[in-house]
Amino acid sequence: MKVLIIGASGGVGHRVASRLVAAGHRATALVRRSEQAETFSAQGIDAMVGDVARDTVEALADIIRGHDAVVFTAGAGGRDGPEATTAVDGEGPGKVAQAMKIADVNRFYLVSVFPEAWRERRMDDDFEHYMVEKKNAETRIVLTDLDWVILRPSALTNEHGVGTVDLGLAKIHREIRRDDVADTLIALMDRPEICRSILEVTGGDIPIANAVDALTRSHGQA
């Protein structure tokens, strides 16, 4: 596969890119600065300079063209104010979906968030806005005719992956390691028949390959 990763500088995105390359695939990181491109190139990861929030749909289509799939794991996350969150988390995926249609690329993997994430805590307005925009992005993607998968991981941690998860249509929000999210994404990409599904993933005791196999069987029965 040749996969474009939007958000490759982030914890999940960088892991996906590195693992794809290690497995013999090609990964392209979309970066906003040329010095970032040099860093990725040194790791064997292709890089292209672009900006989801600022570039036109046509410019994004030029970047996407020639890839087999797009992974969108970028997020402002409320760090740069509500406008950035709206532009990246809310409007970004829909903008990329439009560009994919122009570029004739159909496989889209969107990393989103559990709807009930951290509901046991009192979160600030920026976080609440982030949650609203994540939902807005999902609603835009499910209305497209792309072969999309929306993956909602639970709270992310940086410990080494364990290779096991709890993956399905609806799960209880707990924690999951970024390594395991990346490996789950790649396992899903290896099974293109799994598409047009919203999946939730959290820490669990099922090997990732087995969890994805179970989804494959359920899609075959549908």
Catalytic-residue membership of 130: yes
In sequence order, what are the beta bridge partners of 152? Answer: 200
What are 170's two structure tokens? 């609806």
Catalytic member of 10, 130, 137, 178: 130
What distance in Å separates the CA atoms of residue 19 and residue 192, rounded to the nearest whole number? Answer: 18
Asked whether the beta carbons of 108 and 100 are under 8 A apart, the reply is yes
Strands 164-168, 206-207: pairing kind: antiparallel
| Cβ contact 133:53 at 8 Å | no
- Residues 70, 104: Cα–Cα separation, whole Å: 12
| Catalytic site positions | 130
